[in-house]
Amino acid sequence: MPAPRFFVTGIGTEVGKTAVASVLVEALRADYWKPVQCGELEASDTHTIQGRVSFPVQCYPERYRLRALKSPHQAAAAEGVLIELSDFELPKTDNALIVEGAGGVLVPLNDSNTMLDLMKQLQLPVIIVTRNYLGSLNHTFLTVEVLRQRGIPIAGLVFNGPFDAELEPFVSRKTELPILFRMDTHAMLTLDIVKSYADSLRGTLFNDDNSIFAPSGQKPYLASVHPTSNCPGSSPHCAS
């Protein structure tokens, strides 16, 4: 069976894509690739992943490393660079692979293309990172809708941040997507915390061969992961 490969996107910026990518990389012992890095080049998402996992992860070089902490098309323009879709090619590996996008699905790469076009070109199932805040329903539903309009497969949702017992099942039902797992807000996401989440996914979300685990009767929740002590006891996501 081919090793799993996923593209991690979010409903916006700062929703926890890299946090979720860290857990997935650790759980699958996957390779990692960030095609476009904008800003924070000395503390990039690639560096963050390397510091959060328990093994020497294979991280592939970003195709574009841009200095400005702006949208890719703006950051590229500031350096006289034009981002071209034809410049992107998936790393050649037999291992599992996690690809992390920049911003949300409609973030511009250039005057014509967005992150959505890159997802379409790479042909990977997408994991959507969302969180609960005023306006997040609209952002989540729009993200799902535009991915479906372009025929891009969606593996499921990951909620990151404070738990909402009413909202999260509603989002899953409304989108007809599974909640793959959820994460708390952490002041600092350490290697031990990442490993705790990842360990909880093995045998619940992923089989021993790293394939997706989807037992009958367990949808829409394919995994119940919540390794922190302040999880509401009635939450279906809490680990026992």
Active-site residues, by number, are: 34
Helix (H) or strand (E) holding 199: helix 191-201
For residue 223, give the nearest of 104, 232, 235, 21 by alpha carbon: 235
Q: What is the DSSP letter of 237?
A: T
Q: What is the secondary structure of 120-134 as a DSSP string?
A: HHHT--EEEEE--ST
Across the strands, what pairs with 157? 128, 179
With vertex at residue 228, the alpha carbon angle to CA 226 and CA 231, rounded to the nearest 5 degrees, is 70
Residue with tokens 């993200």: 143
For residue 42, give the nearest of 69, 22, 78 by alpha carbon: 69
SS3 category, 64? strand
Q: Which residues of 80-107 are buried (b: 16+ CB within 10 A; e: fewer)?
A: eeebeeeebebbeeeebbbbbbbbbbeb
Q: What is the DSSP letter of 62?
A: P
